[in-house]
Amino acid sequence: MEQNMNLNTSKLAAASFALVAAAALPLGLAESAQAATTKDGCTVNPLPPEYRQTSNPQNRPYVFYPYEVSCVASASGLSVEVFTETWEADLVGEFGDVDANGVNNADEDRIGSATSTRNFVPAGGSTTVDIRGVLPHTDTDFDEEVYHEVKFRVTSGPVTGNWSTPELTQATTIGW
Cα–Cα distance measured from residue 176 to residue 139, given in angstroms and rounded to the nearest whole number: 10
Task: Count CB neighbours of 75 within 10 A.
Answer: 11
Cα–Cα distance measured from residue 58 to residue 137, given in angstroms and rounded to the nearest whole number: 13
Domain boundaries, the chain: 7-28+37-175
Convert the pLDDT of each residue in 41-97 to its tens digit. Answer: 999 999 999 999 999 999 999 999 999 999 999 999 999 999 999 999 876 555 555
pLDDT at residue 43 in the model: 96
Average pLDDT over residues 17-41: 45
CATH number listed for the domain at residues 7-28+37-175: 2.60.40.10
Look up the pTM and report it: 0.73
Cα–Cα distance measured from residue 136 to residue 63, given in angstroms and rounded to the nearest whole number: 9
Convert the pLDDT of each residue in 130-145 to its tens digit. Answer: 999 999 887 777 788 9
Sign of the four-CA dihedral 49, 60, 134, 138: positive
